[in-house]
């Protein structure tokens, strides 16, 4: 997941936005989700000072606009003026993490993910293997972005692009787009929930930032101690993500409470820790505490309608706060693929929270004292100004 902050005063000025503009659909239409703007409401991004390009809390820029890449490189991947095989090659290099190479200057992409589990594992992997930032964890930054605040066409699924361009590339083997497509579809943990933006992007009005040190300080490793197993940091997929996803998949089968299984119920400490972590994702103008807390809770196996989760959220958040988040929209725009069970759990927890607050609202309405019908009639009549007419 490359692109990030570069402290270079010679970086060229920001370029105009570069949205994805695919051609009209032809069967089979691999871009149906994109055309319907079926993009996750929330996307994460991790970066360090050594990531290529530039990323801050207010903007992201790919390598092409922060180096001496020619202006001709700054074009939409769907621009038909360039050969399809060339465009397929650009996509493959980005997805295979080859844009970090010094000779590659024309990468227009920036990567995001809807899977916090994978983003956290990647951050630890990058810190351990590439950046050597174990002692300066505050330099490992996390962004949480609300895509609904940006224009349609800003993001697209990597799988959609792979499906669209795989037949055009002049490359074969496991590192080809076809190889990536096969790998993503094996349901073995290699699906990252990745989405790409393209070109320079202003994100200050839609994004909140924190760092790894703050996450650890607020209880990340207490909530998910498996992430603190440093033996797993060197491999971004095998071990950590694979094993955690396997336990999460099991939690999505049936309702544990209905089956009398209680060991997966959250503790009060779990929920309070998740909320504390969620509060890191708020600023003076944006507050992503509730969805972020639900994401963190979804990283462990949970039961449906967990009474502890619902009780603590009802204590900590008002109905107005929950209503203002439009959770129904959030749940619609959360991917439902079985490849990313942690995201499915996020959706389940948000749905439970929404239903719980709706139930609480209905109970409050039913508990409100109602006036006797005769009193209502008297009140109505007393409000009328009726002049008496003498006979």
Helices (H), 258-306: 268-278, 289-297
279 and 201 share one domain: no
Task: Identify whether 170 is part of a domain.
Answer: yes
Sheet with 207-211: strands ordered across:
156-157, 194-198, 109-113, 42-47, 141-146, 207-211
177 and 299 share one domain: no
Cα 161 to its chain centre, rounded Å, is 19
- Other C-beta atoms lying within 10 Å of the C-beta of residue 331: 16
255 and 315 share one domain: yes
CATH number of the CATH domain containing 121: 3.90.210
Task: Identify whether 377 is part of a domain.
Answer: no
Task: Identify whether 2 is part of a domain.
Answer: no
- Separation CA 33–CA 39 (nearest Å): 7
Is residue 105 within 8 Å of residue 64, measured between CB atoms? yes
Residues in the chain: 391
Q: 91: which residues sit within 8 A by CB, 6+ positions away?
A: 77, 109, 161, 162, 165, 177
Per-residue tokens: 272: 């309070």
Domains in the chain: how many in total? 2
Task: Identify whether 86 is part of a domain.
Answer: yes
270 and 300 share one domain: yes
Give 10-residue mean pLDDT values along the chain (391 residues): 48 88 88 86 93 94 86 90 94 91 89 94 85 79 95 93 90 85 69 92 97 96 90 70 73 50 80 98 95 95 93 95 76 60 89 91 78 55 49 38
Phi, psi values for residue 104, rounded to 5°:
-90, 110
Nearest to 106 by CA among 67, 50, 60: 67
44 and 155 share one domain: yes
Task: Identify whether 15 is part of a domain.
Answer: no
Is residue 277 within 8 Å of residue 218, measured between CB atoms? yes
166 and 39 share one domain: yes
Q: Report pLDDT for 194.
A: 92
Parent domain of 271: 233-366
Instruction: Give 252's Cβ-side CA count (13 Å radius).
Output: 21
Q: Are strands 59-61 and 42-47 parallel, antiparallel or unpaired?
A: unpaired
349 and 281 share one domain: yes
Q: Report pLDDT for 265.
A: 87
194 and 83 share one domain: yes
Phi-psi region of 65 (alpha: psi -120 to 50; beta: other; left: phi over 0): alpha
Q: Report pLDDT for 389.
A: 41
Q: Report pLDDT for 335.
A: 58
Q: Report pLDDT for 5.
A: 42
């Amino acid at each position: 997941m490359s692109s990030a902050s570069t402290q270079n005063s010679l970086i060229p000025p920001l370029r105009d936005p570069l949205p994805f503009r695919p051609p009209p659909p032809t069967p089979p239409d691999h871009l149906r989700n994109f055309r319907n703007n079926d993009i996750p409401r929330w996307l994460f991004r991790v970066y360090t000072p050594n990531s290529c390009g530039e990323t801050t809390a207010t903007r992201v820029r790919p390598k092409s606009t922060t180096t001496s890449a020619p202006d001709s490189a700054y074009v939409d991947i769907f621009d038909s003026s360039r050969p399809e095989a060339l465009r397929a090659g650009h996509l493959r290099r980005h997805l295979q993490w080859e844009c970090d190479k010094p000779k590659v200057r024309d990468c227009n992409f920036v990567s995001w993910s809807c899977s916090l589990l994978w983003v956290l594992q990647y951050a630890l992997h990058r810190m351990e293997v590439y950046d050597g930032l174990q002692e300066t964890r505050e330099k490992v930054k996390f962004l949480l972005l609300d895509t609904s605040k940006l224009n349609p066409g800003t993001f697209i699924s990597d799988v959609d692009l792979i499906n669209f361009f795989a037949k055009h590339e002049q490359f074969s083997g496991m590192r080809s787009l076809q190889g990536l497509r096969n790998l993503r579809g094996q349901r073995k943990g290699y699906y990252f929930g990745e989405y790409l933006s393209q070109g320079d992007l202003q994100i200050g009005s839609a994004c909140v930032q924190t760092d790894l040190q703050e996450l650890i300080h607020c209880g990340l490793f207490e909530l998910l101690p498996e992430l603190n197993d440093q033996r797993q940091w060197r491999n971004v997929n095998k071990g950590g993500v694979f094993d955690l996803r396997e336990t999460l998949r099991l939690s999505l089968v049936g309702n544990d409470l209905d089956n009398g299984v209680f060991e997966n119920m959250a503790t009060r400490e779990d929920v309070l820790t998740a909320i504390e972590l969620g509060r890191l994702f708020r600023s003076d103008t944006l507050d992503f505490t509730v969805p972020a807390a639900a994401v963190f809770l979804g990283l462990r196996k949970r039961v449906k309608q967990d009474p502890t989760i619902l009780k603590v959220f009802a204590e900590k958040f008002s109905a107005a706060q929950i209503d203002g988040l439009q959770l129904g929209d959030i749940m619609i725009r959360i991917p439902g693929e079985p490849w990313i069970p942690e995201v499915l759990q996020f959706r389940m927890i948000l749905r439970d929270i929404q239903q719980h607050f709706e139930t609480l609202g209905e109970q409050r309405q039913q508990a409100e004292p109602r006036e006797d019908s005769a009193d209502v009639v008297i009140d109505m009549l007393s409000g009328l100004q009726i002049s008496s007419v003498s006979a």
